[in-house]
Amino acid sequence: GENVEQHPSTLSVQEGDSAVIKCTYSDSASNYFPWYKQELGKRPQLIIDIRSNVGEKKDQRIAVTLNKTAKHFSLHITETQPEDSAVYFCAASMGGNEKLTFGTGTRLTIIP
């Protein structure tokens, strides 16, 4: 089955700087890559996703890049703010949500 590795497990960034979280996947058939944000004690929420026919997608300060050849994708957060502090999960799927495999999460801390 699919295996998703996520790095780093923890990341501290000065407010205003950029943060990058990387994930690799094992199954070349995977074609859907969402990112979820989970604030402390709350539910995971989708922040951005990308499909394999696209190399990059942006939404304001958040962007995701996908390298199908290398089988890795990354989340980029620019101009970080205190409210960006959370745990971020990447995931990969070759079909529907029932085939989603999650990474182990990255705890991002924004230092004021």
Residues at the contact surface with another protein, assessed by CB under 8 A: 1, 6, 9, 34, 36, 42-46, 49, 89, 96-98, 100-105
In the chain, the DSSP E strands lie at: 4-7, 10-14, 19-25, 32-38, 45-51, 56-59, 62-67, 72-77, 86-92, 101-102, 106-111
Output the smallest distance, CB 106 to another protein, in A: 10
- Based on CB atoms, which residue is closest to another protein, 46 or 81? 46
- Based on CB atoms, which residue is closest to another protein, 66 or 100? 100
